[in-house]
């Protein structure tokens, strides 16, 4: 039985051109060798599995190659290349800083650096996971790193650049490796599958690439895992089952249920997802990503941001046609809010289910019903103000392209001004002015304060410090202790008014925020003369003492 070699090792790049997803960095390194502009120290940093150590080895091998090709690649035929390929090179030294991180280990390395190479011109020292070195080891290494022998080159590799001392960073040329794109990983996996004689669906490889999160090593490990599970044929179904990935079909079914206001189906689908062992938080994050993908599918220029397989991409294009921009934006906001507050929720399942309820209600609002009614033969006199508002908004939406909505560019100024004027008229006609008592006000004020207790604790404490007073014409007077508190309230005035208007069902409420007179008096700065006058009023002997002793303020 032949020894099995994992794909991550078997298909490890041996040349610069075979490194996936780091074209700009490998080109820079090749040019440095070509022009003989080699630095004495390099720092390769970036996420795991993106090719840092691999690139360091190729760089070290190419530097010592005695017969470079025209495109600055190692020949694999000279003695230096053969020694490297057979793991017996004395020019290239690797040190794992995770297990050799003491001062003594670095001192041993420093002693070794003094020895010139037996073959070739350069001795290359690759220190992996360099951030694991202790502070003392870093300090012992500083002098050698700054002024190494002419034959020595250091290549440091790390996943955590922020843990390295600034004095080390300043002595190195820094190369930041990027996460590998889903497209590049999928393409490389297809190449590996072809070499191994494995039949693989494109969508299946795409899921593996997404699961790898930019790390090629992880992607190849997942690939081997799937091959062990499914044999010589990799299917989309096998991948999502083996890697515990939530099937896109769940999101498509849920979106259809939301648009039909079918909350029963939505809850049953969510229950099915939980039964399969998926976490509610991961689900809501995935659902938000689904709405984002539908959003980018609505415009030809942003469709390239969709990182899914071909057949799934067609489903996105089809569903995005049936989903309005307004629905997607509101659903995305609900999902994002649910994500943000998930950890603080006591009943996490109910928290997600409430979000699903709200999504089901998006298209169940009167605006949508009225939009359908406007297609009938109603006369202008029969239409309510709300229906007219809906027509205005629908006409507006039809004139604004999806492209401008996605890019955030404003619509033409004249159109915006006309729409705003029309909406203002409609809002004037629909203003609520329900009467309320002082007790109702206190209750609404406390509810508003409790609503923001978790998100805005400082504002909550300001609102709780004193009680609002109801004045004429629905004016609410509220005094605070100082200017800072007043500024904080003014900044949130719009939010406070919105909450109070909603709770009290009155759109004519106004806020009058002042500063307490008692606090203003406290803030008065007394002069020395004021203080003397005050003390003298308390005790006339103070003036006598001042005169007798010839004292000044």
On the question of pLDDT at 241 being above 70, the answer is: yes
Report the first-to-last Cα separation within the chain, whole angstroms: 102
Average pLDDT over residues 483-508: 82
pLDDT above 90 covers what percent of the chain? Answer: 10
Closest CA to 181 of 204, 200, 209: 209
Strand partners, 94: 126
Rounded to two decimals, the pTM is: 0.57
pLDDT for residue 20: 87
Angle at 197 between CA 196 and CA 198, to 5 degrees: 95
* Band of residue 372 on the pLDDT scale cut at 50, 70, 90: very low
3-class SS at 36?
coil
- 340-347 contact pairs (CB < 8 A, 24+): 342/280, 342/281, 342/284, 343/281, 344/454
* Band of residue 427 on the pLDDT scale cut at 50, 70, 90: low
What are the residues whose beta carbons fall under 8 Å from the beta carbon of 518, sequence distance 6 or more?
none
72 Ramachandran zone, left/alpha/beta (phi>0; psi -120 to 50) = left
The CATH number of 182-242 is 1.10.8.60
Quick one: which H or E segment has residue 199? Answer: strand 199-200
Q: DSSP states of 436-505 as a string? A: --HHHHHHHHHHHHHHTTTT-HHHHHHHHHS--EE-GGGEEEEEESSHHHHHHHHHTHHHHHHHHHHHHT
- Could you give phi then psi for residue 271, rounded to 5 degrees? -65, -40
Sequence ranges of the domains in the chain: 7-176, 182-242, 248-357, 366-429, 438-522
Provide the angle, in degrees to the nearest 10, between the axes of the packed helices 348-361 and 263-275: 150
Candidates 3.30.300.180, 3.30.230.10, 3.40.50.1000, 3.40.50.1820; CATH matching 438-522: 3.30.300.180
Max mean pLDDT range (65-69, 332-336, 364-368, 471-475):
332-336
The CATH number of 248-357 is 1.20.272.10
Q: pLDDT of 299-327, one tens digit each?
A: 888 887 887 777 788 888 888 888 888 89
174-205 residues labelled b (16+ CB within 10 A) or e (exposed): ebebebbebebbbebbeebbeeeebebbebbb
Angle at 90 between CA 85 and CA 94, to 5 degrees: 80
pLDDT for residue 121: 80
Candidates 1.10.10.10, 3.30.420.40, 3.40.50.300, 3.40.190.80; CATH matching 7-176: 3.40.50.300
* Band of residue 44 on the pLDDT scale cut at 50, 70, 90: very high
Which pairing describes strands 475-480 and 469-470: parallel, antiparallel, or unpaired?
A: antiparallel
């Amino acid at each position: 039985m032949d020894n099995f070699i994992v794909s991550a090792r078997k298909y490890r790049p041996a040349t610069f051109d075979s490194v996936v997803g780091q074209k700009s960095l490998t080109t820079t390194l090749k040019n440095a060798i070509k022009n003989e502009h080699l630095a004495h120290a390099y720092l390769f940093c970036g996420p795991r599995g993106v090719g840092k150590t691999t690139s360091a080895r190729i760089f070290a091998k190419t530097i010592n190659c005695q017969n470079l090709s025209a495109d600055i690649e190692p020949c694999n035929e000279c003695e230096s290349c053969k020694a490297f390929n057979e793991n017996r090179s004395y020019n290239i030294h690797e040190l794992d800083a995770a297990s050799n991180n003491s001062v003594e280990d670095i001192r041993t390395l420093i002693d070794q650096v003094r020895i010139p190479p037996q073959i070739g011109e350069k001795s290359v020292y690759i220190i992996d996971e360099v951030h694991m070195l202790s502070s003392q080891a870093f300090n012992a290494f500083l002098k050698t790193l700054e002024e190494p022998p002419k034959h020595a080159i250091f290549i440091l590799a790390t996943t955590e650049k922020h843990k390295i001392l600034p004095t080390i960073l300043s002595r190195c040329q820094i190369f930041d490796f990027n996460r590998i794109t889903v497209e590049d990983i999928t393409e490389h996996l297809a190449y590996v599958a072809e070499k191994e004689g494995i039949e693989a669906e494109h969508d299946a490889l795409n899921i593996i690439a997404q699961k790898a999160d930019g790390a090629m090593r992880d992607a190849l490990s997942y690939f081997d895992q799937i091959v062990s599970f499914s044999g010589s044929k990799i299917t989309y179904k096998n991948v999502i089952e083996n890697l515990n990935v939530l099937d896109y079909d769940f999101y498509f079914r849920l979106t259809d249920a939301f648009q039909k206001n079918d909350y029963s189906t939505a809850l049953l689908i969510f229950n099915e997802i939980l039964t399969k062992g998926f976490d509610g938080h991961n689900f809501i994050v995935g659902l938000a990503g689904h709405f984002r993908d539908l959003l980018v599918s609505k415009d030809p220029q942003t469709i390239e941001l969709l990182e899914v397989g071909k057949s799934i991409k067609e489903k996105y294009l089809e569903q995005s046609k049936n989903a309005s921009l307004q629905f997607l934006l509101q659903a995305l906001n609900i999902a994002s809010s649910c994500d943000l507050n998930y950890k603080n929720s006591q009943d996490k399942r109910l928290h997600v289910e409430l979000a699903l309820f709200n999504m089901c209600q998006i298209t169940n609002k009167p605006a949508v019903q009225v939009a359908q009614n406007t297609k009938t033969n109603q006369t202008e006199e029969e239409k309510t103000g709300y229906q007219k508002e809906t027509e205005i908004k629908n006409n507006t939406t039809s004139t604004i392209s999806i492209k401008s909505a996605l890019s955030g560019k404003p619509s033409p100024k004249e159109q915006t001004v006309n729409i705003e004027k029309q909406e203002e008229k409609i809002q004037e006609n629909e203003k609520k002015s329900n009467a309320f008592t002082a007790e109702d006000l206190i209750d609404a004020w406390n509810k508003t304060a409790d609503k923001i207790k978790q998100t805005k604790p400082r504002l909550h404490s300001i609102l709780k410090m004193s009680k609002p007073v109801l004045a004429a014409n629905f004016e609410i007077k509220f005094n605070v202790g100082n200017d800072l508190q007043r500024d904080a309230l003014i900044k949130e005035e719009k939010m406070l008014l919105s909450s109070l208007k909603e709770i009290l069902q009155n759109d004519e409420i106004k806020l009058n925020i002042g500063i307490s007179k008692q606090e203003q008096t406290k803030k008065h700065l007394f002069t020395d003369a004021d203080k003397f006058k005050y003390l003298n009023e308390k005790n006339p002997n103070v003036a006598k003492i001042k005169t007798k002793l010839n004292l000044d303020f």
